[in-house]
Amino acid sequence: MPIRFSYNDLSKATKSFSTKVGQGGFGSVYLGVLPDGTQLAVKKLESFVQGKEFGAEVKRIKDNPISEKTDVYSYGVVLLEIISGRRSYDPGDGSEKSHFPTYAFKMLEEGKLSEILDPRLDIDENHESVVNLMKVALWCIQDVVHLRPPMTKVVQMLKSLCAVPQPPTFSVEFPGML
């Protein structure tokens, strides 16, 4: 059973939402630390409209069982949003970036991982940890559930305790879709 936190708990953990680490769908993401030292990222809804959209999303998945693989997918989406500085889905964007996960897989196939990165980030896109972070995010958001790694493996990959293999690309699983 997941642990639930009150708004006050999250406010304390994030020092009143003081360290913003990203902007994603439905709100901003803030860095925090629980009393036991566990680091966390918290997405804070920032408007009533976003709250309604988030509520609709929750309602849509309410009848579907939540599993570890669902959590892994959600974690991957958050990682991708932080890395890219974009929402994973932006219906107002008429470009190929409107569904950002599909675009991210295309950039992986083309060897253009730097196109995924938020240009406002002052990081070397060729640094191994940055490349690994992008690859972990893409592993987590695999459409085919059995291809997603378990969360324990995600943590190992992020901590560089094991190699991060090249994730399967979207067109390998769904030829002709890009």
- Whether residue 138 is found in the same domain as residue 171: yes
Q: What is the CATH number of the domain that holds 149?
A: 1.10.510.10
**What pLDDT score does 62 carry?**
58
Which stretches does DSSP call E strand in the chain? 20-24, 27-33, 39-45
Q: Are strands 27-33 and 39-45 parallel, antiparallel or unpaired?
A: antiparallel
Domain extent, residue 52, equals 18-64
Whether residue 4 lies inside any domain: the answer is no
**What pLDDT score does 30 carry?**
86
pLDDT digit string, tens, across residues 37-87: 888 888 887 665 555 666 665 555 555 555 666 688 888 988 988 888 888
Average of per-residue pLDDT across 17-45 = 81
Identity at 47, one-letter amino acid code: S
pLDDT digit string, tens, across residues 147-175: 889 989 999 999 989 999 988 875 444 44
Give the integer Cα–Cα distance in Å for 44 and 74: 15
Q: In what order do the strands lie in the sheet with 20-24?
A: 20-24, 27-33, 39-45
Which stretches does DSSP call E strand in 34-147? 39-45
- Whether residue 50 is found in the same domain as residue 88: no
Asked whether the beta carbons of 114 and 124 are under 8 A apart, the reply is: no
Exposure class string for 110-127: b at 16+ Cβ within 10 A, else e: eeebebbbeeeeeeeeee
* Domains identified in the chain, total number: 2
Dihedral sign, Cα of residue 78, residue 25, residue 29, residue 41: negative
- Whether residue 117 is found in the same domain as residue 173: yes
Asked whether the beta carbons of 103 and 110 are under 8 A apart, the reply is: no
Q: In terms of pTM, does the model score above 0.85?
A: no
- Whether residue 91 is found in the same domain as residue 145: yes
